[in-house]
Structure 1
Amino acid sequence: MTNIEHVQLQQVIVHKVGNPTRGEQLKLSVNPLTLNDELVKSMLTKYFLSPFNENEHYHFTHLSDVGLNEVYNYVKAIFDNSKSFTQQSALVANFLYNKSTHVKVKEGELYVAHFADVPFGNDFINAVGLFKSETKETFLKVFEHGESWEVVGEEGININKLDKGCLIFNAGQEEGYVVCVVDATNKNQDAQYWVNDFLQVTPYADSYHNTHKYMDMCRLFITNDYADKFEVTKTDQIDLLNRSADYFKTKEQFSLDEFTQEVMHHPEVVDSFVQFKKNYEVAKQFDLDNEFDIDLAAVKKQAKVFKTVLKLDKNFHIYIHGRRDLIEKGYDEASGKKFYKLFFEEES
């Protein structure tokens, strides 16, 4: 998140949350932190807010009624009455403790924070943050000892690495608020209890979400299913990645029919892609629209992970930006090695 220099950190309280299946305890603080040191307040604000992508929005959900979502209710009570902050933070910690039963869930500190003047669109509003620190690092502390200097190791938190976070803006209450989420420790593992079990949030079906998820789905399809189901070379994969990325970069609106016709071309590839989309939606537990406005911020972020580099042994990396027809692959019988021919007009 950017433009956080004027954010006011109003209250912060820390609770220790363990994993009950390992006999670890829940230890609740009686009082919030004393925030007299402006440097500490600034460091905490940076630690809490910097990792968030303010363009990627979620909202609280529930199978029957969002009003029954536990975290939603605790946060709403804080927004309604800031004097209930400590009481509601304890309820948040207790609920997280009850959801921390997966074998991979680590013990850590839960920070509950109340902010004012948080940037939100063109406005500045209140927000509540929930942050969990699970990873400890060892730091060296140098101190003066008599006429000499000594060094000791101390365990602490790296303020540049937030493990888990949730920032709830005081906006969109009826739809489950506007929420930003960070989960840096369990992106590809089963222990996604933070998002699924504890917060129970789902992405807003907006242009950013659709653009981001469609590009992610395209990348996965091309690098996995496309290569497995069809006889294609690495350059064919890179060419399809380039054409997919170019579609999102040059179009203002996405249409699934137009995209498959212009990018995929072949009917069998289109059918495979459509089936992959259905499987992707089931696995991710959300639906993707077939038509939407393309979000440039999402395109810029996703374009960074579109790998269009052809790696040849450990000797050469060829960056391919387009024109698959100017690349020719062959085999040299004399040397027993494969080769590529690259056709170009000028060298720069």
Structure 2
Amino acid sequence: MINLYNTQIDELYIHQVGNKCRGEKLFISEQPYEITDEIRPLLKEFFLKPFREKDEQYFKFEEFSELEVVLQKELDIPYYRGDRDVAQWLYDQGVHPHIKSGELYFCRLSNMELDNEKVEGFGIFKSELRDDFLQFSEGKSQLEMNIQQGVNLKKLDKGALILTNPESKTGFRILYIDSNKYDSKYWLENFLNLEELEDAIFHTKNYLEFCRGFAKDVVKPAEDKQQEVLFLNHAFDYFASNDAFEESDFVNNAIENPDLVPEFQNYKIEKGPKYKVEDLTSFEIDNTAVTEIRKKNKSQIDLDTNISIKMDFINADSADKFIEKGWDEEKQMYYYLCYFNKELK
């Protein structure tokens, strides 16, 4: 888990990166920008707030990444100006007329926390879109109003946090954002050259999403919505109460109907590649990822009589203990029987 609240911006360079395809220029600043006490908190919020609100899916550089080489030099070689090479590399990717020019911000970052360990790293950000704003001045008898354009500090267009890996002296963990989807290949693939980092977060999220798919595609059609919810609750309980995942142990705990065990294995063969879990039988569990996926889980039965039953259980077995499903011969309809002690306000 990443903590950015105490992060410090140690050095900042700002460059103007035009569109190479349109013949626009690349302007390189010779000196670092002097950050005043007034602007420092504004820049910190501008750069880092999108990452505090983003899912923690980490990436790594692809093999032979140009950007990784530059950043490693920045760490290893005193007085090396990696920001120039980063700006040139970004400029060289502007080979499509739709790519917008903008400001490139390159900074060294310190005092970040990754899994409760302090790390340093880099921030690479780009602002592209301009917003209109009003500027007022006093005239002789009234306020004068002028329309100007500038960067909206509440919306970062593109960004990447490149963190040194606390588990190794080489390699990086990367988080990225791209608010403008019209040129996603330009930022993610061409400039950053990223691929997903297959860590505990990656494995935990993917396996739980695989379980959600199995519950929807197999458990619900074979049994009913109640058993779908029951299976998912057992799955989440297993992940929440264990530090490591073992598939045989998980299957024994989460799947009550033994007839569904071979169906689970068949589903993994068929759908495993989609969720990238085909060869996954054991891994470390990330608790933050479990909480995040569980929030997305809808433990609710929606009926065709416009009645919904929400099953918000802490204990997965409660879905089986307090709710019964049956068939009414007289009405020729299914029913759910719910047990309770008292009604809550």
TM-score by length of structure 2 reads 0.75
Q: Is the 8 A contact 1:18 1:106 kept in 2?
A: yes
Q: Is the 8 A contact 1:166 1:179 kept in 2?
A: no
Partner of 1:51: 50
Q: Any idea what the Cα deviations from partners look like across 1:254-273, whole Å, max 9, x if unmatched?
A: 11222234324402243113
Instruction: Give SS of 1:117's match.
Output: strand
- Alignment of 1:210 with 2:206, yes or no, is no
For 2:107, give the aligned amino acid: A
State the alpha-carbon separation in 1 of the partners of residues 159 and 340 from structure 2: 49
Partner of 1:271: 266
State the alpha-carbon separation in 2 of the partners of residues 239 and 149 from structure 1: 65
Residue 291 of structure 1: how far off its partner (Å): 0.9
For 2:275, give the aligned amino acid: Y
* Residue number among 150, 153, 157 corresponding to 1:159 in the alignment: 153
Residue 318 of structure 1: how far off its partner (Å): 3.7
Partner of 1:12: 13
Matches within 5 A, 1:313-332: 318-322=309-313, 323-325=318-320, 326-328=323-325
State the alpha-carbon separation in 1 of the partners of residues 145 and 47 from structure 2: 29
Residue 70 of structure 1: how far off its partner (Å): 0.2
- Which moves more between the two structures, 26-35 or 97-106? 97-106
Residue 150 of structure 1: how far off its partner (Å): 5.8
Q: Is the 8 A contact 1:26 1:94 kept in 2?
A: no
Cα gap change, 1:308 to 1:78, in 2 (>3 Å): same
Q: How many residues align?
A: 330
State the alpha-carbon separation in 2 of the partners of residues 25 and 38 from structure 1: 33
For 1:42, give the aligned amino acid: P
Residue 236 of structure 1: how far off its partner (Å): 4.2
TM-score by length of structure 1 reads 0.74
Matches within 5 A, 1:57-136: 57-62=58-63, 68-81=64-77, 83-85=79-81, 88-99=82-93, 107-134=101-128, 136=129
Partner of 2:26: 27
State the alpha-carbon separation in 1 of the partners of residues 25 and 137 from structure 2: 38
CA radius of gyration, larger in: 2
Q: Any idea what the Cα deviations from partners look like across 1:157-207, whole Å, max 9, x if unmatched?
A: 4434434322223446977522221224378x9944533443233344432
State the alpha-carbon separation in 2 of the partners of residues 307 and 247 from structure 1: 18
State the alpha-carbon separation in 1 of the partners of residues 198 and 312 from structure 2: 31
Cα gap change, 1:3 to 1:95, in 2 (>3 Å): closer
- Alignment of 1:143 with 2:143, yes or no, is no
Cα gap change, 1:226 to 1:139, in 2 (>3 Å): farther
Residue 43 of structure 1: how far off its partner (Å): 1.5
State the alpha-carbon separation in 1 of the partners of residues 223 and 32 from structure 2: 59
State the alpha-carbon separation in 2 of the partners of residues 233 and 151 from structure 1: 64
Instruction: Give SS of 1:50's match.
Output: helix
Instruction: Give SS of 1:47's match.
Output: helix
Q: Any idea what the Cα deviations from partners look like across 1:293-341, whole Å, max 9, x if unmatched?
A: 222122122222222244568966542235444153779998x998755
Partner of 1:65: none
- Alignment of 1:280 with 2:301, yes or no, is no
Cα gap change, 1:18 to 1:343, in 2 (>3 Å): farther
Residue 220 of structure 1: how far off its partner (Å): 4.4
Cα gap change, 1:96 to 1:248, in 2 (>3 Å): same
Instruction: Give SS of 2:29's match.
Output: coil
Cα gap change, 1:240 to 1:173, in 2 (>3 Å): closer
Residue 235 of structure 1: how far off its partner (Å): 4.2
State the alpha-carbon separation in 1 of the partners of residues 292 and 20 from structure 2: 35
Matches within 5 A, 1:198-277: 198-223=191-216, 225-226=217-218, 230-231=221-222, 233-264=224-255, 265=257, 266=260, 267-277=262-272
Residue 290 of structure 1: how far off its partner (Å): 1.7
Partner of 1:185: 179
For 1:279, give the aligned amino acid: K
State the alpha-carbon separation in 1 of the partners of residues 308 and 99 from structure 2: 40
Question: What's the Cα RMSD here?
Answer: 4.1
Residue 221 of structure 1: how far off its partner (Å): 4.6
Report sequence identity in percent. 24
Cα gap change, 1:211 to 1:12, in 2 (>3 Å): same
Partner of 1:303: 294
For 2:246, give the aligned amino acid: S
Residue 149 of structure 1: how far off its partner (Å): 4.5
State the alpha-carbon separation in 2 of the partners of residues 150 and 314 from structure 1: 62
- Segments of 5+ residues of structure 2 without an aligned counterpart are none
Residue 274 of structure 1: how far off its partner (Å): 4.0
Q: Is the 8 A contact 1:100 1:193 kept in 2?
A: yes
